């Protein structure tokens, strides 16, 4: 997984919980990198799960909640860092474009990126479903990103899991706009 995902995670942990917590989670995890990441490097995504798991223990916050919060924060990082990918003018067109446009563009920039697959189905003007598929099982991170995208597009929306395969590699996420 790209280093930006790690560096921004540690940045957020520092802002929310302080530098001591950053050091505590790095010390408590047996990380090959020793917690040293550069934004352009590529690292094992399991290190992220180790650190999130430790933060969850220390702060007594469920892992799913931490990943969602991080996803929402990461969306604002992405939309600021890559404004040229923010070409769509509403939430649903944007979400429909992740798999066919945004992530393929990311792969052009970083051929070693490991990205999930998404298929989308618009149910009606205010509801759509995204099917998340990835061996990395980061659907909670995806939910956080989607919530970040809703905020970016000034759209009030509920984002919920409709169905999850037992091991989390395939998850159906429903996005329901509240005031559409």
What is the end-to-end Cα distance of the chain in Å, rounded? 35
Site for ligand HEM in 146-165 (CB under 6 A): 146, 149
Q: Are 33 and 64 in contact (CB under 8 A)?
A: no
Q: Does 142 bind ligand HEM (CB under 6 A)?
A: yes
Q: Which residue number, 63 or 115, has a Cβ lying nearer to ligand HEM?
A: 115
Query: What tokens appear for 131 in the block?
Result: 């099917």
Interaction with ligand HEM in 4-33: which residues (CB under 6 A)? 5
Reading the block at residue 13, the tokens are 């942990």
Q: What distance in Å separates the CA atoms of residue 21 and residue 13, rounded to the nearest whole number? A: 7
51 interacts with ligand HEM by CB under 6 A: no
Binds ligand HEM by CB under 6 A, chosen from 12, 26, 37, 134: 134
Q: Which is nearer to ligand HEM, 28 or 77 (CB)?
A: 77
60: left (phi over 0), alpha (psi -120 to 50) or beta: left
CA dihedral 35, 36, 41, 45 (to 10 degrees): 0
Q: Contacting ligand HEM (CB under 6 A), which of 57, 82, 158, 162?
A: 82
Assess 66 for contact with ligand HEM (CB under 6 A). Answer: no
List the one residue from 114, 121, 160, 165 that touches ligand HEM (CB under 6 A): 114
Return the number of the residue (95 or 128) whose C-beta is nearest ligand HEM: 95
| Closest CA relative to residue 143, chosen from 78, 36, 65, 90 | 65
* Interaction site with ligand HEM (CB under 6 A): 1-2, 5, 78, 82, 85, 95, 98, 102-103, 106, 113-116, 134, 136, 138, 141-142, 145-146, 149
């Amino acid at each position: 997984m790209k280093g930006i995902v790690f560096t921004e995670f540690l940045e957020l942990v520092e802002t929310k919980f302080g530098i001591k917590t950053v050091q505590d989670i790095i010390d408590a995890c047996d990380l090959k990198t020793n917690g040293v990441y550069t934004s352009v490097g590529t690292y094992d995504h399991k290190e992220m799960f180790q650190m999130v798991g430790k933060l969850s223990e220390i702060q007594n916050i469920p892992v799913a909640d931490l990943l969602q919060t991080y996803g929402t924060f990461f969306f604002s990082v992405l939309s600021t860092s890559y404004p040229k990918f923010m070409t769509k003018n509403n939430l649903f067109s944007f979400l429909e474009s992740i798999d066919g446009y945004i992530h393929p563009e990311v792969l052009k920039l970083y051929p070693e990126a490991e990205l999930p697959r998404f298929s989308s189905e618009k149910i009606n003007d205010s509801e759509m479903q995204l099917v998340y598929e990835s061996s990395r099982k980061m659907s909670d991170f995806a939910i956080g990103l989607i919530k970040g995208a809703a905020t970016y597009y000034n759209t009030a929306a509920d984002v919920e899991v409709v169905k999850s395969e037992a091991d989390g590699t395939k998850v159906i996420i429903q996005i329901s706009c509240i005031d559409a």
